[in-house]
Chain A
Amino acid sequence: MFGNFDFDVIIRALPYLFKEGMTFTLMLTALAALGGLVFGTAIALMRLSGYKTLGRIAGVYVDFMRSLPLVLVIFWFYFLVPYIGQWVTGASRPISVGAFASSLITFIMFEAAYFSEIMRAGIQSISRGQPAAANALGLTYAQTMRYVVLPQAFRNMLPVLITQTIVLFQDTSLVYVLSITDFLGAASKVAQRDGRLVEMYLFAAVVYFTISCIASFGVRRLQARIAILR
């Protein structure tokens, strides 16, 4: 079964796989998680702000993003971003933004919807007395959020946020549909060039599996630690 399994192909491809592919994957994951968290928190605050219109806009955005397949969203942004760029800069033709920027914007916008629901749950898990106390101390709304509510919400939701980031890490492989050289893209390019699909795809599977496993193991330990603190 593994009689003609060629480990050499993998070893020769390692620098390309990790230096080009994994760097792209990890960078996209990290930046998208960060951007998604920032935008997601803003959307969560909009939804909980008490302004009906603002809340409704945020709600529609979240529901919209969550009812579409990620692959479709990737296509949307891939074609839409150049036009938005043209509109923003006032250029005469659509701006080419490159694979990285386009996929980064896609994932930030997409993940913001998911992160916002997590942050909303986190904010709602804070007892009513906390903002009331902050109010009594004379803090403004922004200060209350900044110093009292959000740090606790973030901390309570940290395991869930990391779990979502693991999902994001796996989902970044879908940029494959744009022929981008992320980790899977690099593996599949080598696979097709050398005619070694079995080796490359199995290796990619093992790498994704190992990283996700270690990360979710870490989340479980973190959860246990946070649970003790309560």
Chain B
Amino acid sequence: MNYHWNWGIFFEPNPMGTGTYLDMLLSGLVLTLKTAALAWIIALIFGTAIGVLRTLPSKTASWIGFCWVEFFRNMPLLVQLFLWFFVLPELLPRSAGLWLKQLPNAPFWTAAIGIGFFMSARVAIQLQAGIGSLPRGQRMAATALGLTTFQGYRYVLLPMAFRIILPPLTSEFLNTIKNTAVAITIGLIELTGEARSMQEFSFQVFEAFTAATILYLLVNAVVVTAMRFLERWVAIPGYITGK
């Protein structure tokens, strides 16, 4: 292989004048984490709402939930981001569209919200499965205690369901972090984007992508470890995983 390795490249100043190449990658990492965090909050809020809708006895509610999930699941994330970023401002009334286009940091907000909605469909399915896996008696007991439907979900069903589905939710969280890389297509220069521009400026392809790879692996390791602690902490007594 006649490739010129240069691992010292990370400590050389980058052409943007914002420090070294390493600083560039780290600022990309921060942007990745920010986008993922916001997207995950959106995914949890909407995923919970839709997951609950799908388990309600009302036909309309479960139909709305069904439509939401099918809409966000059957289109590539990339296409969805394009819809929010390029198409939505054109379809809105003129002034609203213009305001949307001129929003500072538009790629960041579009990516976070777009990925959040995309992931919400997956969270909803997990939550629906979690609620479905609870014994029928739990819902009945909540009713028997005089709790309203809302209180039943708030105090009985959701706390149980979330604790049961924590492991699959962990992988969805990891997917959310990984999916932020797709936002490179609407101009968000996150970790993969910074690695790509480092490669374009310095021609050190393999060093740039190796560094990005290691950073992604580190983030993964941190998330997995943290979630394992959380799992142990919230384990339900009496279940196989419980204390």
Task: Give A contacts to B, CB under 8 Å.
Answer: 1-2, 64, 67-72, 75-76, 79-80, 83, 86-87, 92-93, 170-171, 173-174, 176-177, 184, 188, 197-198, 201-202, 204-205, 208-209, 212-213, 216
Q: Are B76 and A177 in contact (CB under 8 A)?
A: no
Tell me, in angstroms, the Cα distance from A76 to B216 when the chains sit together: 14
B61-86: CB near A (< 8 Å → 1, else 0) gives 00000000011011111111011001
Q: Which residues of B contact A70 (CB under 8 A)?
A: 178, 181
Query: Which segment of B153-161, B204-212, B229-237 sits at the interface?
Result: B204-212
Question: Closest Cβ of chain B: how far from A95's Cβ, in Å?
Answer: 12
Given A69-B216, A202-B83, CB of A87 within 8 Å of CB of B1: yes
Q: Which residues of B contact A208 (CB under 8 A)?
A: 74-76, 79
Q: Are A72 and B86 in contact (CB under 8 A)?
A: no
Q: Are A72 and B87 in contact (CB under 8 A)?
A: no
Range of interface residues on B (Cβ < 8 Å):
35 or more
Q: CB within 8 Å of A: which of B200-221?
A: 205-206, 209, 212-213, 216-217, 220
The main secondary structure of chain B at its interface with chain A is: helix
User: How many A-B residue contacts, CB cutoff 8 Å?
Assistant: 104
Q: Are A184 and B78 in contact (CB under 8 A)?
A: yes
Partner of A71, one of B74, B80, B91, B182: B182
Tell me, in angstroms, the Cα distance from A198 to B88 when the chains sit together: 8
The 18 listed contacts between A and B (C-beta, < 8 Å) are A2-B91, A68-B216, A68-B217, A69-B182, A70-B181, A71-B184, A72-B192, A75-B209, A79-B199, A80-B206, A83-B1, A176-B185, A197-B87, A198-B87, A202-B87, A205-B79, A205-B82, A213-B70
Given A75-B196, A177-B185, CB of A197 within 8 Å of CB of B90: yes
Q: Are A79 and B87 in contact (CB under 8 A)?
A: no
Q: Are B87 and A201 in contact (CB under 8 A)?
A: yes
Is the CB of B195 closer than 8 A to any CB of chain A? yes
Interface centre among A83, A86, A173, A216 (most CB of B within 10 A): A173
Q: Are A79 and B209 in contact (CB under 8 A)?
A: yes
Q: Are B184 and A177 in contact (CB under 8 A)?
A: yes
Q: Are B192 and A173 in contact (CB under 8 A)?
A: no
Given A83-B1, A177-B184, CB of A184 within 8 Å of CB of B90: no
Tell me, in angstroms, the Cα distance from A12 to B214 when the chains sit together: 46
